């Protein structure tokens, strides 16, 4: 019995060893094959000689599924010229999975969670990909950039590596192919009644003090009015005001820009909690002065956008936050109707304590972009798909096609390279009254496919007035983007628990300080309250992640 | 109708009652009338805040504009089809189930009620449901909308209570005359249950007409959405667009267009309601009071 048992054991061990040997062989075999060509099984339909400046055309007709964010202003149509021309040029047919814009993010999470997502998942803003990283359902695209020559070229040419690094996760890779801008793009600022400036003999204000003086002069002339009544107060109070309009000048971004509440402080070379920063306090003090002198309408933080616009249109206020689009679409038409002599201008973003900057560490030249389903990696068309994405979203030709359409049909280009819509096509009011619309009838300039790109392309749809404004802004300095500080899963959960109470407390007190319900003497007390809500632990967590990343990935 | 107010208390009660109810009516009606007024107004007038109860710059152009969008009508047709089919299926399923459950002599009746009621409190959750519907191959078909919601447990219980209240002697008499179970259900019970049937049709139809979530989950083509998804995208979509500071090519949809779409979407329900309202009131009391 004993003997047999021992023999059996020996046989078993032998068999195990043999198996182990076999499997090692197998591994090394596969490894050898891999180093030859990672993508041997994924090259169907791909171009062997694809590169920058080359039109991508699949070797065989292919189709890729894509999540489609359906914009109510230009609902998807299957007979758009965009689809047919895309197939003609690239031999690729896109199969859109249509999701209403109103609930795009929910459906995206659901489909990824259920393992049912399309291959290409566009319209994902930087940071939104993070929750999907741990599940392993999205592809670490940074490993496959060699398949995307145009993307790599633009990163190098526009010096976007530091921006790109902000996307890196704790493993040093990134999971989102972002949209790329050649230059920073500021858009939101104050919109001011030009005719009132003329009447009062005022110059266009440049700095916070200029704005203050302008408002004072307006108040003197129209004592019953609040000269500055702002919009974008719901659901984020001071959405644009605390973010771009005055946040940029102060160096601490509130409103829409508050997000996780963490700001990179370039002087200290550390992250800090935005709501407790000296820069943030300066901004609140400035705004409080405006409220105190009855220059800024206290309702700015609670009223609906429409109410703010009505005040502007009816001449009860003269200053409001806005951008190029809202100026043309929402402010000028109603004002013109009420008062044909009134004019409105976008003033350059007021220069604050931070000096003339067009972008700070919180800004980036990255746009929303594309996630790719992990399962696409196993598709035999994987290489072709990456080349296709590279061509449509990142090549110059692809970007012009997605934005402007087809030369001769939807646009013409003159000798100096200036784009012009053909006579019968309208887009953002460039050809008012034309029977067809670039977005609605042709499917071009579609937010899913057309964004980012060179400054020239970006500004090709801008009015002259807006191009001038951009010139003024572009002359200013851009501070380097913040360094990566990726949290791991556990830290992320912890941070999320701290973020909400901190953010709520900061937001609430922001309003109280601005509106004068709380005096600035209590600022230290307020910071202590934040402290009690784990502010330091949170900031240390982020700074720790930053140090760790620096150590591990240089 | 003449009522005599006997005491001072009653008079006070009637006055207070009238005031409060008038207030409720105003609060309910005002937003609706405002939307109708907006739908008939000039966009600039709305922006300038001039439109309240009466249209300013009266125009039908917005209606023409919305009506000229083929997607709107395709989605509208979908809503009608989904509502009709879903209501029909739901009525058959619910009636059969409720009738069976109303029979006290049924073996395992408590268990059958139990599984129905269980779903009122527990559900599989969003992702499992989605995977279920996907692997059944129902996605992008009408069945994804009409089948998962075919039995509403609340409606089921109301109907069961109604059937239980029916005199057993009636059915026994029919059985003695040689009628089969189905014969009894179709020829005796259902004709006597018109009130509850009408109520259930109304409950189901209204809920299917208003529902958007199932379609949003399981449909991936624009041509398959009901008009509620279209409307939701129009209203919610436009607001989220600005709040994230969208890119320059994104545009918002004008207020008057939103209003017109809302009006067109509510009209059918509004037209049907007054005629079915009496059943509605009856229906709500059905489960509670047994005669």
Provide the residue-wise pLDDT of chain B in tens; the chain has 291 residues. Answer: 555 667 888 889 999 999 999 999 999 999 989 989 988 888 777 766 778 888 888 888 888 888 888 888 999 999 999 999 999 999 999 999 999 999 989 999 999 999 999 998 888 888 999 999 999 999 999 999 999 889 999 999 999 998 998 888 999 999 999 999 899 999 999 998 888 898 888 889 989 998 999 999 999 999 999 999 988 888 765 544 333 333 333 455 677 888 888 888 888 888 877 777 777 666 666 655 544
Same domain membership, residue A257 and residue A133: no
Number of neighbouring beta carbons within 10 Å of residue B152: 20
* pLDDT(A12) > 70: no
Pairing of strands A477-478, A436-437: unpaired
CB within 8 Å of chain B, chain A residues 31-90: 70-73, 75-77
| Residues of chain B contacting residue A103, judged by C-beta atoms under 8 Å apart | 216, 232, 236
Same domain membership, residue A220 and residue A355: yes
Domain that holds residue B260: 67-286
Same domain membership, residue B218 and residue B133: yes
CA–CA separation, A437 and A427 (whole Å) = 6
CA–CA separation, A316 and A310 (whole Å) = 8
Averaged pLDDT of chain A: 89
Same domain membership, residue A337 and residue A218: yes
Per-residue model confidence (pLDDT) at position B2: 56
* pLDDT(A542) > 90: yes
Phi and psi at B99, nearest 5°, equal -65, -45
* Cross-chain residue pair B233–A100, CB shorter than 8 Å: yes
* pLDDT(A20) > 80: no
Q: What is the DSSP letter of B186?
A: I
Q: Do the domain assignments include residue B1?
A: no
Q: How many CA atoms lie within 13 A of A22 on its CB side?
A: 6
Q: What is the DSSP letter of A59?
A: S
* pLDDT(A535) > 50: yes
* pLDDT(A294) > 70: yes
Same domain membership, residue B80 and residue B33: no
The total number of structural domains in chain B stands at 2
Same domain membership, residue B213 and residue B271: yes
* pLDDT(A81) > 90: yes
pLDDT, tens only, A441-492: 999 999 999 988 999 998 888 888 999 999 999 999 999 899 999 988 889 8
pLDDT, tens only, A370-407: 999 999 999 999 999 999 999 999 999 999 999 999 99
Domain that holds residue A277: 189-361+506-553
Same domain membership, residue B150 and residue B216: yes
Q: How many residues does chain A have?
A: 554
* Cross-chain residue pair A447–B233, CB shorter than 8 Å: no
CATH number at residue B170: 1.10.3720.10
Give how far Cα A352 sits from Cα of A81, A246, A320, B166, B171, Å: 47, 7, 18, 80, 86
pLDDT, tens only, A98-149: 999 888 999 999 999 999 999 999 999 988 898 898 888 999 999 999 999 9
Q: Do the domain assignments include residue B84?
A: yes
Per-residue model confidence (pLDDT) at position B70: 87
Give how far Cα A285 sits from Cα of A520, B149, B177, Å: 8, 56, 91
| Chain B contact for A114 (CB, 8 A cutoff) | yes
Per-residue model confidence (pLDDT) at position B283: 63
Quickly state the pLDDT bin for A23 (edges 50, 70, 90): very low
Annotate A393-432 with b (16+ C-beta within 10 A) or e (fewer).
bbbbebbbbbbbbbeeebbeeeeeeebebbeebbbbeebe
Q: Do the domain assignments include residue A245?
A: yes
Per-residue model confidence (pLDDT) at position A528: 96
Q: Do the domain assignments include residue B3?
A: no
Per-residue model confidence (pLDDT) at position A26: 38
Residue in B245, B253, B256, B261 to test binding to A, most A beta-carbons within 10 Å: B245
Per-residue model confidence (pLDDT) at position A5: 55
CA–CA separation, A549 and A531 (whole Å) = 26
Question: Percentage of chain A with pLDDT > 90?
Answer: 71
Q: Do the domain assignments include residue A23?
A: no
Q: Do the domain assignments include residue A463?
A: no
Quickly state the pLDDT bin for A430 (edges 50, 70, 90): confident
pLDDT, tens only, A221-232: 999 999 999 998
| Residues of chain B contacting residue A428, judged by C-beta atoms under 8 Å apart | 248-249, 251
* Cross-chain residue pair B229–A100, CB shorter than 8 Å: yes
| Residues of chain B contacting residue A188, judged by C-beta atoms under 8 Å apart | 245
Of the partner residues A101, A314, A461, the one whose CB lies closest to the CB of residue B48: A314
Same domain membership, residue A197 and residue A156: no
Same domain membership, residue A515 and residue A438: no
* pLDDT(A197) > 90: yes
Per-residue model confidence (pLDDT) at position B56: 84
| Residues of chain B contacting residue A96, judged by C-beta atoms under 8 Å apart | 220
The total number of structural domains in chain A stands at 2
Q: Do the domain assignments include residue B291?
A: no
Instruction: Look at residues B59, B83, B102 and tell me which one is the last residue of a structural domain.
Output: B59
Chain A: closest CA distance from residue B221 (Å): 5
Of the partner residues A324, A330, A446, the one whose CB lies closest to the CB of residue B248: A324
Task: Please name the residue of chain A whose CA is at the shortest distance from the CA of residue B43.
Answer: A334
pLDDT, tens only, B20-67: 999 999 999 999 899 899 888 887 777 667 788 888 888 888 888 888
CATH number at residue A83: 3.40.190.10
Q: Do the domain assignments include residue A167?
A: yes
Which two structure tokens, joined as six digits, stand for B95? 């009636």
* Cross-chain residue pair B127–A113, CB shorter than 8 Å: yes
Same domain membership, residue B245 and residue B219: yes
ipTM comes to 0.80
CB within 8 Å of chain B, chain A residues 123-162: 125
* pLDDT(A18) > 50: no
* Cross-chain residue pair A334–B44, CB shorter than 8 Å: yes
Of the partner residues A101, A239, A330, the one whose CB lies closest to the CB of residue B233: A101
Q: Do the domain assignments include residue A480?
A: no
pTM value?
0.82
> Any bridge partners for residue A66, and if so which?
A96, A120
Q: Do the domain assignments include residue A109?
A: yes
Same domain membership, residue B152 and residue B50: no
Which residues, 6 or more positions from A102, have their beta carbon under 8 angstroms from its beta carbon?
Answer: A72, B232, B233, B235, B236, B237, B240
Same domain membership, residue B49 and residue B171: no
Same domain membership, residue A347 and residue A262: yes
CA–CA separation, A332 and A312 (whole Å) = 10
Q: Do the domain assignments include residue A115?
A: yes
Same domain membership, residue B103 and residue B13: no
Tell me the average pLDDT across A208-215.
Answer: 96
Same domain membership, residue B82 and residue B38: no
Instruction: Look at residues A453, A471, A498 and tell me which one is the last residue of a structural domain.
Output: A453
Give how far Cα A502 sits from Cα of A497, A523, B276, Å: 9, 15, 52
Same domain membership, residue A411 and residue A382: yes
> How far apart, in Å, do the first and last CA atoms of chain A sit?
63
Torsion on CA atoms A321, A325, A326, A329, rounded to nearest 10: 160
Q: Where are the alpha helices (H) located in chain B, listed in sequence order?
A: 8-39, 43-47, 61-67, 70-101, 109-121, 126-135, 143-146, 153-164, 168-176, 181-183, 194-210, 213-218, 227-232, 238-243, 255-286
* Cross-chain residue pair B237–A72, CB shorter than 8 Å: yes
Of the partner residues A110, A306, A446, the one whose CB lies closest to the CB of residue B130: A110
Same domain membership, residue A334 and residue A197: yes
Q: Do the domain assignments include residue A467?
A: no
Same domain membership, residue B212 and residue B195: yes
Q: How many CA atoms lie within 13 A of A370 on its CB side?
A: 30
> Any bridge partners for residue A39, and if so which?
none
Of the partner residues B131, B245, B249, the one whose CB lies closest to the CB of residue A447: B249
Residue in B128, B233, B236, B252 to test binding to A, most A beta-carbons within 10 Å: B233
């Amino acid at each position: 019995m004993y003997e047999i048992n021992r023999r059996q054991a020996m046989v078993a061990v032998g068999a195990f060893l043999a198996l182990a040997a076999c499997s090692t062989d197998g591994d090394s075999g596969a490894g050898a094959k891999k180093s030859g060509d990672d993508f041997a099984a994924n090259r169907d339909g791909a171009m062997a000689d694809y590169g920058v400046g080359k039109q991508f055309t699949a070797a065989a007709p292919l189709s890729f599924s894509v999540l489609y964010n359906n914009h109510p202003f230009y609902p998807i149509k299957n007979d758009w010229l965009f689809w047919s021309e895309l197939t003609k040029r690239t031999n690729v047919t896109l199969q859109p999975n249509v999701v209403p814009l109103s609930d795009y993010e929910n459906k995206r999470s659901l489909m990824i969670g259920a393992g049912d997502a399309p291959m290409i998942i566009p319209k994902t803003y930087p940071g939104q990909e993070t929750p999907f990283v741990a599940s392993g359902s999205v592809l670490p695209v940074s490993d496959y950039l060699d398949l995307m020559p145009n993307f790599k070229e633009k990163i190098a040419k526009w010096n976007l590596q530091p921006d790109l690094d902000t996307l890196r996760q704790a493993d040093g890779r990134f999971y989102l192919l972002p949209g790329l801008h050649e230059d920073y793009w500021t858009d939101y600022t104050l919109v001011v009644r030009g005719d009132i400036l003329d009447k009062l003999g005022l110059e266009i204000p440049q700095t916070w003090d200029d704005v203050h003086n302008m408002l004072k002069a307006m108040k003197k002339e129209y004592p019953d009015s609040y000269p500055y009544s702002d919009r974008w107060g719901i659901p984020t109070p001071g959405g644009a005001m605390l973010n771009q309009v005055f946040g940029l000048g102060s160096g601490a971004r509130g409103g829409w820009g508050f997000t996780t509440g963490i700001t990179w402080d370039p002087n200290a070379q550390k992250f800090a909690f935005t709501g407790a920063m000296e820069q943030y306090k300066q901004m609140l003090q400035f705004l409080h002065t405006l409220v105190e002198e009855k220059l800024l309408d206290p309702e700015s933080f609670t009223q609906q956008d429409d109410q703010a616009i009505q005040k502007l249109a009816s001449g009860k206020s003269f200053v409001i936050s806005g951008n190029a689009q809202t100026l043309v679409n929402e402010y000028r038409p109603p004002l013109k109707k009420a008062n044909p002599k009134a004019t409105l201008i976008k003033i350059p973003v007021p220069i604050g304590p931070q000096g003339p900057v067009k972008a700070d560490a919180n800004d980036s030249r990255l746009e929303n972009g594309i996630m790719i389903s992990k399962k696409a990696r196993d598709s035999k068309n994987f290489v072709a798909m990456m080349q296709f994405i590279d061509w449509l979203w990142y090549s110059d030709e692809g970007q012009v096609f997605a934005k402007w359409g087809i030369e001769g049909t939807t646009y013409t280009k003159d000798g100096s390279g200036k784009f012009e819509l053909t006579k019968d096509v309208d887009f953002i009011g460039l050809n008012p009254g034309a029977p067809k619309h670039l977005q609605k009838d042709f499917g071009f300039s579609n937010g899913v496919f057309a964004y980012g790109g060179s400054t020239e392309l970006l500004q090709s749809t801008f009015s002259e007035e807006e191009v001038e404004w951009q010139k003024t802004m572009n002359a200013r300095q851009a501070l380097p983007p913040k360094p990566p500080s990726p949290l791991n899963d556990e830290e992320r959960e912890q941070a999320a628990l701290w973020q909400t109470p901190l953010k709520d407390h900061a937001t609430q007190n922001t309003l109280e300080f601005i509106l004068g319900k709380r005096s600035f003497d209590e600022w230290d007390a307020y910071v202590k309250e934040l402290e009690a809500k784990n502010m330091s632990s949170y900031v240390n967590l982020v700074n720790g992640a930053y140090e760790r990343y620096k150590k591990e990935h240089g | 109708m003449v009522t005599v107010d006997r005491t001072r208390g009653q008079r006070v009660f009637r006055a207070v009652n009238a005031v409060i109810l008038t207030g409720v009516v105003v609060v309910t009606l005002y937003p609706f009338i405002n939307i109708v007024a907006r739908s008939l107004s000039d966009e600039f007038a709305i922006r300038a805040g001039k439109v309240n109860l009466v249209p300013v710059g009266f125009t039908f152009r917005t209606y023409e504009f919305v009506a000229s969008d083929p997607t709107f009508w395709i989605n509208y047709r979908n809503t009608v089809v989904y509502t009709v089919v879903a209501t029909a299926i739901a009525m058959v399923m619910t009636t059969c189930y409720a009738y069976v459950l109303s029979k006290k002599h049924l073996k395992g009746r408590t268990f059958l009620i139990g599984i129905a009621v269980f779903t009122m409190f527990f559900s599989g959750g969003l992702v499992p449901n989605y995977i279920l519907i996907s692997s059944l191959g129902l996605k992008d078909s009408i069945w994804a909308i009409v089948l998962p919601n075919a039995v509403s447990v609340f409606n089921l219980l109301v109907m069961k209570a109604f059937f239980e209240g029916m005199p057993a002697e009636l059915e026994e008499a029919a059985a003695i005359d040689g009628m089969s179970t189905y014969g009894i259900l179709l020829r005796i019970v259902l004709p006597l249950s018109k009130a509850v049937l009408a109520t259930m049709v109304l409950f189901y139809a209204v809920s299917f007409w208003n529902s958007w979530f199932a379609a949003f989950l399981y449909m991936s083509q624009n041509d398959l959405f009901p008009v509620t998804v279209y409307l939701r995208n129009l209203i919610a979509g436009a607001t989220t667009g600005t709040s994230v500071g969208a890119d320059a090519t994104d545009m918002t949809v004008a207020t008057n267009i939103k209003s017109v779409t809302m009006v067109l979407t509510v009209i059918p329900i509004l037209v049907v309601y007054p005629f079915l309202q009496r059943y509605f009131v009856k229906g709500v009391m059905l489960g509670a009071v047994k005669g």
